[in-house]
Chain A
Amino acid sequence: MKNLLYILLLLPTLVFGQSGEGYINYKSYKTHYGNGSSSTYNGVSYGGGADSSAEFDAMVDTNQPGTTLTHSGEVSPYGTTGLYGGAAPRWGGDYYATVYSGWFKPNKSGTYNIKTYADDSSETRYREAGTTTWQYMTYQWGCCSNVFGTATLDNTKWYEFEFRYQEYGGANYYYFGYSLPANSSSPIYNWISSNHQFGTWTNIDPSGTSTEIDPEVDFQFEFQSNIQPEKYRFRVYYDATNEQDGTVWYNTSTTNTSYYLDNDGTKDITDYLNLVKMNDGKKATTAGGSVEWCVVYDYDSTNKRYRVGIDKREFPSGFTFTDLKQLKLFDLWDDEITYMSDDAYWANYYIYTDTQFNFTNSTFSSYIRDANGFYGMKAEFSFEDVEIYKGHKVTFMSPSTNIEGWTSTEFIDDYVTVADVVSAFSELAGGGINGGYKGDLNGVQLQNADVNGDKKFDFQDTFKLLKFLQGEENLTTNNSLSQIMRPVPKSVYDGTTTSNWSTQSNYSPTTNIPFSLVYDSIQQIQYKVGFLGDVNLSHSAAQTNNTTTSARMMSVRNSSTQNTTLLEVNLDIEQTEEHIIVTLDLPENNFNLVGSEFRIGFDNERVEYDKLETSTTMNTFDAKRETYIKIGSISVDGSMNLNGGVQYKIYFKPIQSFDSTLGLVSVKKSEVVDKNANIINVIIK
């Protein structure tokens, strides 16, 4: 709870663009667990103030359990949040580290004198754009005095920089100052400001090689037409674990905000994403060299992989070999690798691939030697951090706060009706004595009909549906939205057939929709939404290119007993000394009705349900809810029908005396269905 509060209160919305000139990037980390404790990861530890560059690296490594990236974005280099104060957004006043990065081009050529002032340890370093080795203007391990250094710069070149400092406790700041080359023999220092800019600063790679653009994510949820998408609310969460294992999720909004879908079920959630990246190991890149630092053993066709050995002398000091997760090996491979082992001389990895390398035709073939059993590679290695976006998910909330009187049970009552139950029984019974299905239901309907989720549609499911209809059991454990809502990727939903319905993905109901962010992409994520138990698809999205009719309405004309396309049901409400009696008379007909269902609402503060009497011998039910009662009849095997008509008398007991009864009870819904699960229109008279 404490962690959650911390995140909700202190983590800002971490969505920033990159504005270019006049701005630099920053990242702020909570370090030392936020309480001063030391941290260790893979044998590398840090504690207190940074005493070396390696310890500083560890301090800002989010793989360390004590380190969490809390803020990132861009600031002006000239102000207090930038290089004149170091007060970029951060989680607190102690136990943090801030890293400024970007590129600068100095105003003058020559040797600058540099002065920095930081509390606690700091490193002020740079490198010519396109090179890999940091050069230090200044650094200080510990606290906290003016530190001096030099940098010889060319005002026609861009330089990449990384200025970082960390705070353990007490005062906290970072200042960058300089003296122009013209004054190198007798420096005149100025702290950086808008009047003393030092040069041009930018957070967009001036080489133009960095084209990384944050992703845009548009969701589209397709519901059945009688569902109001704009009533559905959701929150956006990100995976807060270093392992990205989905065990801890935080709302991307610091205020735990939720959002409504648009009327058409769409929503652009780009503004709600957490675009702070995290380290995900290292990537090695190779260039042709003069020494065979690398060997690739012959292809293992059994396991479909190559074993790659890299000479340990190619790795930086202190490198954690298990962190190497990607490899660009000449033009042969540029993807993930799997750590195998390492010994005193070699670090070994697997490359899993179904396709063997074409060593002979590689443009780097002059660096490759076929050694009969392995290939020697004259390769020089460089290493870089791999950064990934955190996992995300959208989680739907119950619409009970948006739709007056909405409860999941009532919602299920809306879509699991006598027509669904008849349809389910008909599908099973229609297979004949040899079993099998009748063939009326499509793949999505079969998924919805499998209400116990065992990936088999059988009589266990139909009787579960029947018991729900009759009010004897919940459809699920607690009838919550997360147990009935089934969002499925559109292509999967539309591709669900009677053959693959039980093996399709996204089978289990859920209100969580996970998704990954992809660099420089516009992600249009399309889902269709179905509901568990909705056998006739009255409330589930229709499949595209599927001709199965949902909630089939019958339009036949009954010519003998009732010469109309409607079935008129007579309603009478009378008050006796003890009861208010609702009488429904379904007349003689020839629709071969095997099911009926009426929902009778009642004012539960003034009357209470007592009993049901009926004239039919068909299986009759009365399911009591808080404000209504479901009554009706059903013949699950179709052996009986209501052609002879039926009368239902529903008795309510007044809780108080009444002179008037108008509105105390009401007929809220009605449905009758024939043995083929066709719904016959009903009008109450």
Chain B
Amino acid sequence: MRKSLIFLLLILLSCQKDELMVVEPYPQYEMIFEESISKVVDGQEFSFEVSTTEEHTLIISHENNSVITKESFTPTMGLNTRVLYTKSLPKGELNLSLVNVGEEIQKTTIIVE
């Protein structure tokens, strides 16, 4: 009898509706300057933090520091997200740096494949 009650209880429990945990995904930011080197793809978003809202410039250059392309923008305080287009860039390892008022404040290496 006791076994039957336990069995019945197990059946009842097993028939309850599953309680699904819905987890809101955190926004995923590619904090590109936190990596020393990373592969990039066309149209990739990447993020970084800045501490002022002065105009900043992202610069992509060769190893000899000759500039290939750049983009100037006015950031928001804290986290900023930009997009990188690679179709016109040369293949291989390139420098990506973040400059504020002529001073390089972040730098990393990107690999364009």
Contacts and interface: CB of A to CB of B under 8 A. Distances in A.
Interface of A: 404, 571-574, 601-606, 627-628, 658-668, 682-685
A665 B87 CA distance: 9
A402 to B, nearest CB: 14
A662 B69 contact: yes
B65 A663 contact: no
A544 B83 CA distance: 51
Given A659-B83, A660-B82, A684 B88 contact: no
A660 B88 contact: no
A665 B67 CA distance: 12
Interface string B80-100: 001111111111000000000
Contact of A662 (B64, B65, B71): B71
Q: Give chain B's interface residue range (CB within 8 Å of chain A).
A: 20 to 34
**Residue in B65, B68, B72, B85 with the greatest tally of chain A CB atoms within 10 Å:** B85
Interface of B: 58, 60, 64-73, 82-91
A606 B43 CA distance: 11
A404 B89 CA distance: 13
Given A601-B88, A602-B88, A683-B64, A660 B69 contact: no
B85 A603 contact: yes
B83 A605 contact: no
A-B pairs, top 7 by smallest CB distance, nearest first, are: A601-B88, A663-B85, A660-B83, A662-B71, A666-B69, A603-B87, A684-B67
B66 A663 contact: no
B72 A665 contact: no
**Residue in A571, A627, A660 with the greatest tally of chain B CB atoms within 10 Å:** A660
A572 B83 CA distance: 18
Contact of B88 (A404, A571, A572, A627): A627
B82 A663 contact: no
> Helix, strand, loop or mixed for chain B's interface?
strand
B66 A662 contact: no
Contacts of B66: 682-685
A662 B85 CA distance: 6
Contact of A666 (B72, B89, B91): B89
16 contacts: A571-B70, A572-B72, A573-B70, A603-B87, A606-B85, A660-B83, A661-B71, A662-B84, A662-B85, A663-B88, A666-B88, A667-B68, A668-B88, A683-B64, A684-B68, A685-B66
B67 A660 contact: no
Nearest to B83: A660
Given A605-B87, A660-B82, A663-B85, A685 B67 contact: yes
A254 B105 CA distance: 61
Contacts of A601: 88-89
A573 B69 contact: yes
Given A573-B69, A573-B70, A662 B60 contact: yes
Contact of B90 (A572, A573, A660, A668): A668
B91 A663 contact: no
Contacts of B72: 572-574
Contacts of A604: 87
B64 to A, nearest CB: 7
Contact of A665 (B65, B69, B82, B86): B69
B85 A664 contact: yes
A320 to B, nearest CB: 64
A572 B55 CA distance: 14
Nearest to A566: B66
B5 to A, nearest CB: 65
B67 A663 contact: no
Contacts of A682: 66
Contacts of B64: 683
Contacts of A685: 66-67
A668 B66 CA distance: 10
A397 B45 CA distance: 40
Nearest to A601: B88
A298 B71 CA distance: 90
A662 B60 CA distance: 9
Contacts of A661: 71, 85
Contacts of B91: 404
Contacts of B58: 662
A663 B67 CA distance: 12
Contact of A660 (B71, B86, B87): B71
